[in-house]
């Protein structure tokens, strides 16, 4: 059993410091259920970037964090294609 979320980075907006990730919806933990770890790990490579993610139901939300420490979820509009 995998105890960490599985996701892909699908976009990086360096100008606005935003990451877009998509939950892989596989047998691992969901991004929603592993938000603390996801924020921490992404902050190591992308410090102070906002993290926008698509959950397993197709909804886009933000993982609001402070220097990699998860604080809360916030709804967002889907990114433009």
Domain ranges across the chain: 7-75
Q: Whole-prediction pTM value?
A: 0.86
pLDDT at 78: 61
Rounded Cα–Cα distance for residues 34 and 79 (Å)? 22
Write out the chain's pLDDT in tens, 81 residues: 456 888 999 999 999 999 999 998 887 788 999 999 999 999 999 999 999 999 888 899 999 999 999 999 999 876 565
**HSE (side-chain half, CA atoms, 13 Å) at 34:** 19
pLDDT of residue 5: 85
Q: What is the CA radius of gyration of the chain?
A: 12
């Amino acid at each position: 059993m995998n105890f960490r979320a599985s996701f892909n980075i699908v976009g990086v907006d360096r100008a606005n410091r935003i990451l877009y990730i998509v939950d892989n919806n596989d047998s691992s933990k969901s991004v929603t259920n592993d938000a603390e770890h996801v924020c921490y790990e992404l902050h190591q490579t992308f410090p102070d970037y906002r993290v926008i993610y698509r959950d397993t139901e197709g909804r886009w939300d933000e993982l609001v964090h402070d220097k990699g420490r998860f604080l809360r979820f916030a709804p967002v509009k889907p990114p433009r294609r």
